[in-house]
A and B are shown apart, each in its own frame.
Chain A
Amino acid sequence: MKEKRKLIKINLIAREVKRKKVPSHYLNFLPVLLGVVLGVIIALGMDYVYNSRVNRLKREVEAKRSELKVLSPYVKKLKETEAKLSKLKKMKQIISEIIKEAHVPLKVIQTVEASIPYEVWLREMDLSGKKLKLKGYSLNDEKIADFLENLSKSELIAKVSISYIKKVKVNKIPVKEFSAEVTIK
């Protein structure tokens, strides 16, 4: 006799699914699942750390901006003061130069006076800028040489050169006339 087919009993009023389970063979994938979960946690952690850092830097930037906003009037004043100071420094330098230049002729005279030996007389002294032209007399050549050497040793003088030495008579007395050019530092 042929086996009878069983009828199907389905009753949807009886059963609700109230819990959820992971199929046991899915446990084979547990290491992979854990790896993925771990990876996600690490990624989320790193994301959290970087986000925290970014947020902290943003807060710092914001704080600095606020600070800058508060300080900006003072910064403006500081810049103005610095500009004034710079201007004053330039003015001071100019004045110093002027004062320095104003003292040069006096210093030149003092230097020449200190360098000139006995038996040497100056007839002309012409100071123009950094150039000083000297003309004078001496009884002999040696005294002229001593004079020029003394000048060259001075800190004020950069260079000394003789233009000429020649024999002349002054009140019928034979003397040596000289001309020299001196460069002031």
Chain B
Amino acid sequence: MYGAKVTFKGKKVNDIKWAEVRLGDGWFEQSKLLNLEAVRDALADVVSQLKVKKTLDVVTCVYSPVAMTSVVNLPVRNSKELFEYLELEADKIVPLPLSILNVDYYFVEKKKRSSKVLLAFAKKEIVYKYRDLALHVGLKLKSVSVRCVALTNLALYSLNRGSIPQDKYIFLDTNGEVLSYSVIDEKSIINCRDIPVRGVISLDDILEFMEKELEAYGLDFSDFVVVGTKRMLEELPEYVDRFRDLTGRDIKKVKLFEFVENFDKTDPCIDVTVGLTLQELRK
């Protein structure tokens, strides 16, 4: 388990401290927390290492198969109208009844008669389990996001700060469980998803899916620069090779932490944590 304490100076990230506790295999499988006691102890240890004040905002993220996201175009202009579409859209995106899900959405772009909306769904049982775990160590969980959304925020933040050259990107990252990807053009997010990498889904399938999805948005896959985080390149070298075979291009390495002056760690999950935290900056 990884924890990061992010401090800000104004709206800029000033410092990141992180802590790691090894939980061993089998604590989390198929979207179930199998060893709650071990997770509680680990979380308490992380909080202790980071010397977290109990008044701090605590945020975390979930990912597939606990959470699912999709960017869709809908004939709505506001939350009230969108609410009427939620169940219908959930049916298309999530193979679960809406009654067992928590939902949130973000209007990516509003047009005259329609909107591009990022929809996110998560199993409420797991979300509340995380909340209870936080409560157990005396913290109040303020926000639960989705991993690929956190990656997107981190990428957007880097682009806004100019630490990454302006271009159209497909950002790739992994935590060993899922491959998170985020498609971003000159203006905003096109789409983002978490795809399990331990299953039967190959990179060929993922690329085919991405290409078709971009086609549906009227975009060409070859116009996008594909970049991966350090962990993605190290943990999934076969993806890098296969990508080269399939496209004749390389997955370029991207550094998403250059904006943090004193940050020299390459923790595998901290990028996500930072990205997740950044969304709080919008307030």
Q: Which residues of A contact B (CB under 8 A)?
A: 2-17, 20-25
Question: Which residue on B lies nearest to A16, using beta carbons?
Answer: B102
CB pair A22–B156 under 8 Å, yes or no, is: no
Taking a contact as CB atoms under 8 Å apart, the answer to whether B84 and A10 are in contact is no
A-B contact count (CB 8 A): 97
**Minimum Cβ distance to chain B for residue A137 (Å):** 127
Say yes or no for B193: interface residue by CB 8 A criterion: no
Contact B86 A17 (CB under 8 A): yes
Contact between B156 and A5, CB atoms less than 8 A apart: yes
Query: Once the chains bind, are A7 and B278 in contact (CB under 8 Å)?
Result: yes
Segment at the A interface, from B34-42, B48-56, B140-148, B259-267: B140-148
- Please determine whether B143 and A20 come into contact, CB atoms closer than 8 angstroms: no
Known contacts A5-B159, A5-B188, A23-B84; A10 and B106 CB within 8 A of each other: yes
Q: Quick check: B83 and A11 within 8 Å, CB to CB?
A: no
Instruction: Please give me the residue from chain A that is nearest to B104 by CB atom.
Output: A10
- A3→B84 CA distance, assembly (Å): 32
Tell me the smallest distance from the CB of A146 to a CB of chain B, in Å: 119
Residues of B within 8 A of A17 (CB): 83, 86-87, 90, 98-99, 101, 103
A15 to B85 CA separation, bound complex (whole angstroms): 15
Query: What residues on B are CB-neighbors of A10 within 8 Å?
Result: 69, 104-106, 118, 120, 145-146, 149, 279
B88 within 8 A of A: yes
* Bound form: Cα–Cα A9–B280 in Å: 7
State which residues 168-197 of B face A: CB under 8 Å.
184, 187-189
Question: With an 8 A cutoff between CB atoms, is B253 at the interface?
Answer: no
What are 19 A-B interface contacts by the 8 Å CB criterion? A5-B160, A5-B188, A6-B156, A7-B156, A7-B281, A8-B106, A8-B156, A8-B279, A10-B145, A11-B143, A12-B146, A14-B143, A16-B124, A17-B86, A17-B87, A21-B83, A24-B81, A24-B84, A25-B75
Asked whether any CB of chain A lies closer than 8 Å to the CB of B152, the reply is yes
Tell yes or no: B47 within 8 A of A by CB.
no
| Residue ID in chain A nearest B101 by CB atoms | A17
- The residue in chain B whose Cβ has the minimal distance to the Cβ of A18 is B99
On chain B, the residues within 8 Å of A14 by CB distance are 102, 104, 143
What residues of A have a CB within 8 angstroms of the CB of B144 in the complex?
Answer: 11-13
A7→B75 contact, CB < 8 A:
no
With a CB–CB cut-off of 8 A, which chain A residues contact B104?
Answer: 10-12, 14-15
CB distance from B5 to the nearest CB of A (A): 20
Minimum C-beta distance from A33 to chain B (A): 14
How far is A116 from B85 in the complex, measured between Cα atoms in Å? 123
Given contacts A7-B278, A7-B279, 9 further A-B contacts (CB under 8 A): A5-B156, A5-B159, A5-B188, A6-B188, A9-B106, A9-B280, A10-B279, A13-B131, A17-B101
When the two chains form their complex, are residues A12 and B85 in contact, meaning their CB atoms are under 8 A apart?
A: no
A5 partner residues in chain B, CB cutoff 8 A:
156, 159-160, 184, 187-188
Q: How far is the CA of A6 from the CA of B106 in the complex (A)?
A: 11
Nearest Cβ distance between residue A61 and chain B, in whole angstroms? 46
Is B256 close to A, CB under 8 A?
A: no
Residue of B nearest to A21 (CB): B84
* B199-217 interface with A by 8 A CB criterion: none
Residue of B with least CB distance to A11? B143
Which residue of B has the minimal Cβ distance to A23?
B84
B153 to A: closest C-beta gap in Å: 5
Q: B128-159: which have CB < 8 Å to A? A: 128, 131, 141-146, 149, 152-153, 156-157, 159
